[in-house]
Amino acid sequence: MASVQAGAVTAQQSFVREKILLGMGWREYARSCCTKGNAIAAAILVVGLPIFVYRFIAGLGATTALSQTAPWGLWIGFDMMTGIALAAGGFTIGATVQIFGLEEYHPIERPAILTAFLGYVMAVIGLLADLGRPWNIVMAMFNFGTASALFEVAWCVMCYTTVLLLEFTVPAFEWLGWRKLHAVMRKALIGLTVLSVMFSTMHQSALGSLFLLAPTKLHPLWYTPFIFVFFFISAIIAGISMVIVESMLSHRAFHSQVAGNHVDMDKLTLGLGKAGALVMFAYFFLKLQGVIDGHAWGYLPTAYGALFLVETVGFVLVPAFLFAYGARNAKVKLVRAAGVMGVLGVILNRLNVSIVAFNWNQPVRYVPSASEVIVSITLVTIGVLAFRWIVNRMPILREDPRFAAGHH
Amino acid sequence: MSIGRREFIKIAAVTAGAAGAGSASAATPHAEGTDGPGVLVDTTLCVGCRACEAACAEKNELPTPPESDDVMLQRRDTAPQVFTVVNRAEKDDGTVRFAKKQCMHCLAPGCASACPVRAMDKSPEGPVVYDPSKCMGCRYCMVACPFDVPKYEYDSWKPRVRKCSFCADRQAKGLKPACTEVCPSGALTFGRRSELLELAKTRIYTNPGKYVPHVYGEHEAGGTSWLYITDLDLEKLAFRADVPEKDIPSHVSGALSAPPFVMTLWPPLLMGLYVFSRRKNGAEGEEHGKEDHHG
Ligand code: SF4
Ligand code: SF4
Ligand code: SF4
């Protein structure tokens, strides 16, 4: 009896040691965590988390710069709108590998799905902070406001986060060594990918549809009846760009993980660049068409026009050329630079639509409060920490030899 | 890769386009034909006594509006604790005009169509009413209202959206809205919307040159329950002049009819592409399991 218990305890200990502490003892592990990056992250959390909690006690007025003319601020414009767009890598790469059968992209599928999953979880947490009555979020399951684009967004986010969680269980079960469940989930992956494309298509565009009912409030350069198509296509741009940027960063940050894993990242990056160029050119011409349809030419020589040009020329047309040139001439660095610009461009676009160009004709302008900025930074930090924690433990950037071998 | 993606987008665009075209021809559901209760505001009769403000505050248990008429020297807006305000404007000839502002109770309300949980809803009787027990506090109703009516209790930890309810509870008991009951000058007439529209046009046509020949609210945002006639530009009285005639929900319905297409089209389409890409990959695809990693 005692020995069984002792055995269980050591098994427990070695599980913690192997799976959680990266094979180190507690003390050793704690020491390995004392890095500069962690110190910065800790500082952010120490400031940000109390503000996050305080917001629920004191209300939105005490923590945000929102007003009667600016009902939506940074938490919707950045955490929600941008977070979800940047998470689009999950479905774009998922579809590329699972549906179009481009196997060579498999090595970047898992990090893309993980990024997407964390992106959605952070967006949902940001949303909870933004909702005035977050406890009533369950109401969306019982009261069907089907005429509302937000209803569609709510449901799709709910379903898609679940799908991403299920997709994520594949590496998680490998990590835990649960073979049977892993086999089941792996089989389910195609089905899940179809679902993920379906939900993503719907709500990436529905995020754009949200603004359709504000024809007098959104600046004419951004308001078009096709804004939902724009949102969908720019989400694909965000997805591709984000995968390029994230694989660049993670291959730098997680050297040990990738060592011995002979993936030709450069080739994949060039391929993504080619796709990025195509989508970005298409998007640019659609944006142009939007201006023509909306007869919004007259607004181009204004300050908003300048902003619009920065967004569409500086962060769509220019990176499109960089993508095309880089991909054709095998200049990986250019493609990566274009990827960074693509990410920034989509952030800029989402912020423009939801904050800067919204209620543009009202006298009172919204400028986010320090608390709003800090909470957003905190959420991003938590996302990055979670990503790192998982990548260091689970087979995300590398294959688990036990599972890869079983398949040959 | 490029072909796959290009097709992907083309299909997405076609799907979206088809959906949009399909619904564009569909009739707008509830913009016409509603003949609920309404109020006609004749701004030429309003004397700016602000009795309506006081009656509204009393009925809704809101703070009493300031006594002094000095508040009218500035443009005011409704607020979480103020459901109606009277604004003042000077005409070119020096005479003053007043108009009270409140929720317009649109026939096809943007706010209600925006609400994902139907906390803001148009009651069958006509008034657009709000139920805080359902509300998530997303404030999308505020984004959606073209008249900037709903206001939010930002200072509370359990905030509500606040706006005029057209005294729906009084109307249910057969009473008039509180403001219309106290108005001493005949500026506010409560009745059936269709009859009020008649009355408004009669006043305009029988007094040539007196009124601006336009009934504000007849077509704005697809029509509203509150109607205004004036002899000056309503913008001067703090009303939005840029409200489109098309009702707000119909701006969205095109995009919203896409999901059913997506839900029915995507799965077979994607599975088809999946099968196709396997066949193209040929022998290689057969040998290994599809998720196999060739590195
Ligand atoms: S005026 Fe605004 S709040 Fe009132 S019913 Fe119309 S859309 Fe809703
Ligand atoms: S704030 Fe409340 S009433 Fe307004 S749209 Fe959101 S859930 Fe509906
Ligand atoms: S009570 Fe009537 S007359 Fe007095 S301010 Fe209101 S609408 Fe005008």
For residue B110 and ligand 1, the question of a CB distance below 6 A is answered with yes
pLDDT at A252: 81
Scanning every residue of chain B, which has its alpha carbon at the shortest distance from the alpha carbon of A142? B117
pLDDT at A261: 61
pLDDT-derived band at B258 (thresholds 50, 70, 90) equals low
- Identify the nearest ligand to the CA of B123 by its number: 1
Q: How far are the Cα atoms of A266, B108, B241 from residue B244, in angstroms, in the given order? A: 52, 13, 9
Please indicate whether, in this complex, the C-beta atoms of A100 and B243 are within 8 angstroms of each other.
Answer: no
Q: For ligand 3, atom 4, which residue shows the shortest CA distance?
A: B49
Q: How far is the CA of A91 from the centre of ligand 2 (A)?
A: 30
Question: Are residues A239 and A196 in contact, defined by beta-carbon separation less than 8 angstroms?
Answer: no
Cα gap B171→B39, rounded to integer Å: 13
State the pairing for strand pair B151-152/B128-130: unpaired
Please indicate whether, in this complex, the C-beta atoms of A216 and B240 are within 8 angstroms of each other.
Answer: yes
Cα gap A188→A185, rounded to integer Å: 5
Cα gap A94→A113, rounded to integer Å: 7
Q: For ligand 3, atom 6, which residue shows the shortest CA distance?
A: B52
Closest CA to A398 of A207, A200, A259: A259
Q: Which residues line ligand 3 (CB under 6 A)?
A: B 46-52, 86, 98, 100, 182-183, 185, 187-188
Burial string for A88-102 (b: 16+ CB within 10 Å, else e) reads: bbbbbbbbbbbbbbb
Preferred mutation among A53, A54, A66, A68 to probe B, highest tally of B CBs within 10 A: A68
Instruction: Evaluate if residue B96 carries a pLDDT over 90.
Output: yes
Residues near B61 by Cβ (< 8 Å), separated by ≥ 6?
Answer: none
Q: Say which residue, B171 or B256, is predicted with more confidence.
A: B171
A with B: how many residue pairs have Cβ under 8 Å apart? Answer: 249
Instruction: Evaluate if residue B18 carries a pLDDT over 80.
Output: no
pLDDT at B263: 65
| pLDDT > 70: percent of chain B | 76
**What's the residue count for chain A?**
408
* CA geometry: angle B91, B97, B98, nearest 5 deg: 145
Q: What residues of A are in contact with residue B140 (Cβ under 8 Å)?
A: 71, 148, 150, 210
Residues 185 through 244 of chain A touching chain B, CB cutoff 8 Å: 186, 189-190, 193-194, 197-198, 201-202, 205-206, 208-217, 225-226, 228-229, 232-233, 236
Question: Are residues B229 and B43 in contact, defined by beta-carbon separation less than 8 angstroms?
Answer: yes
Please indicate whether, in this complex, the C-beta atoms of A59 and B159 are within 8 angstroms of each other.
Answer: yes
pLDDT at B262: 65
pLDDT 10s digits, A107-158 = 888 899 999 999 999 999 999 999 999 999 988 888 888 888 899 888 888 8
Please indicate whether, in this complex, the C-beta atoms of B292 and A408 are within 8 angstroms of each other.
Answer: yes
- Angle separating helix axes B2-24 and A227-253, nearest 10 degrees: 150
Q: How far are the Cα atoms of A106, A264, B7, B290 from residue B294, in angstroms, in the given order? A: 9, 12, 26, 10
> Distance, in angstroms, between B248 CA and closest chain A CA?
6
Q: For ligand 1, atom 2, which residue shows the shortest CA distance?
A: B145
Residues near A110 by Cβ (< 8 Å), separated by ≥ 6?
Answer: A170, A171, A395, A396, A397
If you search the block for the tokens 């294959």, which residue do you land on? A399
pLDDT 10s digits, A176-213 = 889 999 999 988 988 888 888 888 888 898 899 999 99
Question: Are residues A152 and A201 in contact, defined by beta-carbon separation less than 8 angstroms?
Answer: no
pLDDT at A16: 80
Residues near A121 by Cβ (< 8 Å), separated by ≥ 6?
Answer: A161, A383
Q: How far is the CA of B191 from the centre of ligand 1 (A)?
A: 19
What residues pair up with B85 in beta bridges, in sequence order? Answer: B101
Cα gap A192→A187, rounded to integer Å: 9
Closest CA to A202 of A155, A246, A248: A155
pLDDT, mean over chain B: 84
Instruction: Work out the average pLDDT over B222-233.
Output: 95
B45: number of Cβ within 10 Å: 15
| pLDDT > 90: percent of chain B | 68
> Distance, in angstroms, between B134 CA and closest chain A CA?
6
Q: What residues of A are in contact with residue B136 (Cβ under 8 Å)?
A: 131-134, 136-137, 139-140
Question: Are residues A346 and A241 in contact, defined by beta-carbon separation less than 8 angstroms?
Answer: yes
Question: Are residues B164 and B139 in contact, defined by beta-carbon separation less than 8 angstroms?
Answer: no
Cα gap B187→B87, rounded to integer Å: 14
Residues near B169 by Cβ (< 8 Å), separated by ≥ 6?
Answer: none
Q: What is the pTM of this model?
A: 0.87
pLDDT at A189: 86
Q: How far is the CA of B128 from the centre of ligand 1 (A)?
A: 7
pLDDT at B130: 97
pLDDT at B162: 98
Please indicate whether, in this complex, the C-beta atoms of B1 and A216 are within 8 angstroms of each other.
Answer: no
Answer whether B255 touches A (CB < 8 Å). Answer: yes
Scanning every residue of chain A, which has its alpha carbon at the shortest distance from the alpha carbon of B5? A275
For residue A102 the two structure tokens come to 């481009």
Q: For ligand 3, atom 8, which residue shows the shortest CA distance?
A: B46
The amino acid at B272 = G
Q: How far is the CA of B38 from the centre of ligand 1 (A)?
A: 14
pLDDT at A5: 57
Q: How far is the CA of B248 from the centre of ligand 1 (A)?
A: 10
Residues 124 through 143 of chain A touching chain B, CB cutoff 8 Å: 130-134, 136-137, 139-140, 142-143
Q: For ligand 3, atom 3, which residue shows the shortest CA distance?
A: B46
Answer whether B31 touches A (CB < 8 Å). Answer: no
State which of B183, B190, B229, B230 you would mutate to test the pocket of ligand 3, scoring each by most atoms of that ligand within 8 A of its C-beta. B183
Burial string for B106-136 (b: 16+ CB within 10 Å, else e) reads: bbbbbbbbbbbbbbbbbbeebbbbbebebbb
pLDDT at A165: 93
pLDDT 10s digits, B133-173 = 999 999 999 999 999 999 999 999 999 999 999 999 999 99
Answer whether B273 touches A (CB < 8 Å). Answer: yes
Cα gap A85→A360, rounded to integer Å: 23
- Taking phi over 0 as left and psi of -120 to 50 as alpha, with beta for the rest, A87 belongs to alpha
**What is the 3-state secondary structure of chain A?**
CHHHHHHHHHHHHHHHHHHHCCCCCHHHHHHHCCCHHHHHHHHHHHHHHHHHHHHHHHCHHHHCCCCCCCCCCHHHHHHHHHHHHHCCHHHHHHHHHHHCCCHHHHHHHHHHHHHHHHHHHHHHHHHHHHCCCHHHHHHHHCCCCCCCHHHHHHHHHHHHHHHHHHHHHHHHHHHHCCHHHHHHHHHHHHHHHHHHHHHHHHHHHHHHHHHHHCCCCECCCCCCCCHHHHHHHHHHHHHHHHHHHHHHHHHHHCHHHHCCCCCCHHHHHHHHHHHHHHHHHHHHHHHHHHHHHCCCHHHCCCHHHHHHHHHHHHHHHHHHHHHHHHHHCCCHHHHHHHHHHHHHHHHHHHHHHHHHCECCCCCCCCCCCHHHHHHHHHHHHHHHHHHHHHHHHCCCCCCCHHHHHCCC
- Taking phi over 0 as left and psi of -120 to 50 as alpha, with beta for the rest, B120 belongs to beta
Task: State which residues of chain A have pLDDT below 50.
Answer: 1, 405-408
Q: How far is the CA of A239 from the centre of ligand 2 (A)?
A: 31
In the Cβ-directed half-sphere of A139, how many Cα atoms lie within 13 Å? 22
Instruction: Work out the average pLDDT over B198-226.
Output: 96
Q: How far is the CA of B63 from the centre of ligand 1 (A)?
A: 23
